């Protein structure tokens, strides 16, 4: 019977050693979207949010940030992406408060602060619309390697915009980690964001 404490102690020590091994050999996240960790671009931005506040990526440190480029008069990709992200937020539950979705307009000519303030929070009150002048928009799009171009309409004000449909995701430390493909549904996004939130 005297040997029992020694056996327990050895078992406990072995368990600790094994748990330490698990941490050393833990695998990196296995994302369902495109892992772009270490991307040499998409580092920062300098825009205004729909409340008129100057913003950079550093303002959202401590949150997972999703950045989508679009415009309010977009008939398909933009509203479906925003609705999809609203579903993601619902499925994340309480963890959604650690996620910040940013809608960056590629149409600063028409997307005023007031219009963005109506459009973006309609999907989720926590979402922020982001805007800058033509030069600031072009600078951010260039840094993020996002394509956008005006498509003429029947009248000067009825033009449309072609633009990149995916979204970038940054981790809590402000490092770019993922590129989300458009139209895949909320499930894969929820799974990937949970890995970044844990």
Residue 106 lies in a domain: yes
Residue 114 lies in a domain: yes
In this structure, what is the dihedral angle of CA atoms 122, 100, 135, 39, given to the nearest 10 degrees?
-140
In the predicted structure, residue 107 carries a pLDDT above the cut 90: yes
Other beta carbons less than 10 A from residue 178's beta carbon: 27
Q: What is the pLDDT of residue 101?
A: 98
Which residues are registered as beta bridge partners of 170?
A: 65, 176
Q: Give the residue ranges of the annotated binding site for Cu cation.
A: 74, 78, 163
Give burial (CB, 10 Å; 0-12/13-18/19+) of 191: middle
Q: Angle at Cα 146 formed by Cα 196 and Cα 135, nearest 5°? A: 115
| Whole-number Å distance between alpha carbons of 31 and 39 | 16
Q: What is the pLDDT of residue 38?
A: 94
Residue 26 lies in a domain: no
In the predicted structure, residue 193 carries a pLDDT above the cut 60: yes
Q: Give the residue ranges of the annotated binding site.
A: 74, 78, 163
Residue 66 lies in a domain: yes
In this structure, what is the dihedral angle of CA atoms 182, 188, 193, 194, given to the nearest 10 degrees?
170
Q: Name the pLDDT band for 128 (thresholds 50, 70, 90).
A: very high
Residue 43 lies in a domain: yes
pLDDT tens digits, one per residue of 147-187: 999 999 999 888 999 999 899 999 999 999 999 988 889 99
Q: What is the pLDDT of residue 24?
A: 45
Residue 174 lies in a domain: yes
The predicted model scores a pTM of 0.84
Contact 167, 99 (CB under 8 A): no
For residue 73, the enclosing domain spans 31-197
Residue 25 lies in a domain: no
In the predicted structure, residue 142 carries a pLDDT above the cut 70: yes
Percent of the chain clearing pLDDT 90 (strictly above)? 79
How many domains does one find in the chain?
Answer: 1
Q: What is the pLDDT of residue 189?
A: 97
Residue 24 lies in a domain: no
* CATH, residue 60: 3.40.30.10
| Whole-number Å distance between alpha carbons of 101 and 65 | 6
In the predicted structure, residue 80 carries a pLDDT above the cut 70: yes
DSSP for 23-84, please give it. Answer: HHTPPPP--SSEE-TT-SS-----EEETTS-EE-GGGGTTSEEEEEEE-TT-SSHHHHHHHH
């Amino acid at each position: 019977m005297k040997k029992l404490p020694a056996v327990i102690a050895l078992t406990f020590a072995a368990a600790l050693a094994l748990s330490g091994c698990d941490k050393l050999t833990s695998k990196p996240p296995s994302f369902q979207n495109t892992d772009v960790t270490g991307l040499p671009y998409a580092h920062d931005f300098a825009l205004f949010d729909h409340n008129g506040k100057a913003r950079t990526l550093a303002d959202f440190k401590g949150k997972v940030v999703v950045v989508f480029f679009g415009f309010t008069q977009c008939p398909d990709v933009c509203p479906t992406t925003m609705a999809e992200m609203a579903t993601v937020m619902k499925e994340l539950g309480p963890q959604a408060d650690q996620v910040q979705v940013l809608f960056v307009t590629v149409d600063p000519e028409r997307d005023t602060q007031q219009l963005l303030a109506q459009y973006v929070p309609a999907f989720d009150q926590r979402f922020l619309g982001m805007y800058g002048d033509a030069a600031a928009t072009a600078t951010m799009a260039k840094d993020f390697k996002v394509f956008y171009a005006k498509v003429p309409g029947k009248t000067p004000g009825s033009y449309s915009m072609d633009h990149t449909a995916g979204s970038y995701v940054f981790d809590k430390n402000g490092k770019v980690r993922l590129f989300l493909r458009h139209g895949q549904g909320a499930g894969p996004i929820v799974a990937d964001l949970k890995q970044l939130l844990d």
